[in-house]
Amino acid sequence: MSRAIQKEKKRARDAFVAGYEAHMEGDVERAMYLYAHSLEWHPTAEAYTFMGWAYSFQLKFEKAIEQCQKAIQIDPDFGNPYNDIGAYYIEMGRDDEAIPYLEKAVLARRYANRHFPFYNLGRVQEKRREWASALRSYQKALELSPEFEAARVAVERVKGNLP
């Protein structure tokens, strides 16, 4: 790999990290600016996914989905954009469209937060009053991440609706 390419990758990575830090501090506009530079210098699935996440903070879910689709084109094994698309569809009230993405997220080879798509599947199943399925999804989320309080609360809530 040439020095120029290495330099561009480092600039991109540094911009992405700075964007993430700005995002965590609540400065979404600055985060988007930095993610855009990261993508300009060296596009990655992570930068597209986090740019999508930033759009979601602005309730621009269609733009967020577009960014996640770009992430999937770069790395179809990266689970985050699948889950995020599913979550955005849920927020838009388009649960049927969310399910295939959440199912892909669950199966993704590269995904550190696999509890999120199980939780999101549970949200859809709970809305549909599919209590047993919702309970299984929430329990799986809790099994994968025992400290995930939202899943713990959901398990208890759904148990109250079981026959």
Residues forming beta bridges with residue 78, ordered by sequence position: 110
pLDDT in tens, 6-50: 888 999 999 999 999 999 999 999 999 999 999 999 999 999 999
- Is the pTM here over 0.85, yes or no? yes
Is the pLDDT at 163 greater than 80? The verdict is no
pLDDT digits (tens, 9 = 90+) for 52-93: 999 999 999 999 999 999 999 999 999 999 999 999 999 999
